[in-house]
Structure 1
């Protein structure tokens, strides 16, 4: 893993990975804060889509988006579907979701959403209810190749790591556009833990 330095604001465009906008922006709002994931997701699903609390179904939803082996101790627990967007929430069963969590979010349609548009301090997409103290772009490896990952540190003491990836193919010839958000307390959501998760992506 290689740090590329602190990023005080939105980074310039570098033609990096993309995620669908529109519903993609809705997805980002849902995954931006570990403490409100399920509350916000269930509300949206109640209004516009559907939700599951069946771990087996949540795992199946994740498998539709990306080929990912969840490591021991991290299990899919619930999910939300809103039109062409899907979110799956995973973590240690029975544990505080703020301590350690993984969100798999995907869009199967829509325009592109870019890595440089992810929330950073003072950026347009920063959650006003949850201040970002610092952002840092790091480099991890996925499928044997380097991938940029945005690491945000928040005033509530939590950190998260966000990356965008192409997912499984779709019938129309395209592919799922997938966002992974790995978050928790710094002593648990370590770079080594993040790489362990990413090593399970095929």
Structure 2
């Protein structure tokens, strides 16, 4: 992880806008690959393009990143794809923003790995209670330790992932597949989905169309 230094509001906004624009270009470029049931990423792209970022105000969600996960995040960021220009830009913006971000976790259900809660986190970047207030999208960064499966789940908002590591992904109408680092995954409304890390940490930037704030933590 980069060192935690206090950025000015102007610096924070600059990096936030840079991240949004790089993410927008990546999603637009992959839109033809993300078609689901006759739809595509047009709604996600439009929502992200319409996003207006403001510095977040209390109450914030989440807390600081646990020290046990800092090496995992650093390793994942170091291994993330930087061949394409937009990925370099996106990752540089993330590295600047993460030390100032708060992190949330999904609670493990009875059937889940008992240690799951402490092996993953989501940095909240855009959205209600996030680093940047945003009314159209909730955007976060998911990180998981190696050899871990995220619980199968579904939620009303459509969702995208920009994949920043190796890993396997699941959607109920497709099954398991590996999009590869630099790939894009799209989950339509209410589709059951999951992801799992390999022998390396999993890292992915995700976004939910903000239909209702109650879905922000239903990851």
Q: Could you say whether these structures have the same fold, taking a TM-score greater than 0.5 normalized by the shorter chain as the test?
A: no
Q: Which structure is higher in RCO with an 8 Å CA cutoff and minimum separation 6?
A: 1
TM-score tier, shorter chain, comes to: 0.3 to 0.5
Larger % of strand: which? 1
Larger % of helix: which? 2
* Normalised TM-score (structure 2): 0.33
* Normalised TM-score (structure 1): 0.35
